[in-house]
Structure 1
Amino acid sequence: MNSELRRYDDVKVGDELPALAVPITVQLIAGGAIATRDYFPGHMDKDAAQELGSPHVFMNILTTNGLVQRFVEGWAGGPGAPLRDLKIKLGAPNYPGDTMTFSGSVTDKRDADRSVEVTLKGKNQYGSHVTGTVRVGLA
């Protein structure tokens, strides 16, 4: 994570965020499900997931949401850069053994509240797992 808060005046529309690769593991998927109290068997039990037609356990949306926050907050400088809005849409599932790589860019700036919008996607070998926008306040 970036230890220094990103400054609003230093950011321009079109700036690219550095890519973030997240290895997808059983521990990440199951741990995220448990941490968010999502006890659906498809997130923790491979046999149950396979009975549903999935090749393995798959990530829940709340874990994805947390990883999106990590990506944007890491670029913005940490918890001192408050998230003001987060909108995501899921696509291809995340399975263990894959890597999801985030990319994004600044697509809007609002002087009134010193916030920027980041448009992002997280892709794995199957395509986009998540797409969306995050509005974050900057110093």
Structure 2
Amino acid sequence: MSKVVHTSGKRKTAIARGTVKEGTGRVRVNRKPVELYSPELARLKIQEPLELAGDVAESVDINIRVVGGGVMAQAEAARMVIAKGLVEFTSDVKLKDKYVQYDRTMLVGDPRRSEPKKYGGPGARAKNQKSYR
């Protein structure tokens, strides 16, 4: 039986779940090959952990499903799934160190969230101005 690893990644309100299994290097995001993913900036973001992994990425298939959030948040959540999945699949400490050194958010979530809006203004901190004239 072949080895299968399930991982998840989050960024803001985007949640990505993925499976890493032995294969031929196919990566799919929402059933679409990563090469066809658009916009280009998001695609490059998703491909970063694959390029850092090198040969390891060509021996596995990765399927990712992403829901919620915006385009870039989804891309960063998917990228986290790929990085965490490859590290868990290979159990390679050097690969983990390489990811952490390059960009820690590949393996560790970013806790920042948008601040809730308060009364008295249009946003979280902005208040309605008054002029007294």
**TM-score (structure 1 length as normaliser):** 0.29
Which structure dedicates a bigger proportion of its chain to strand? 1
Which structure dedicates a bigger proportion of its chain to helix? 2
- Structure number with greater Rg is 2
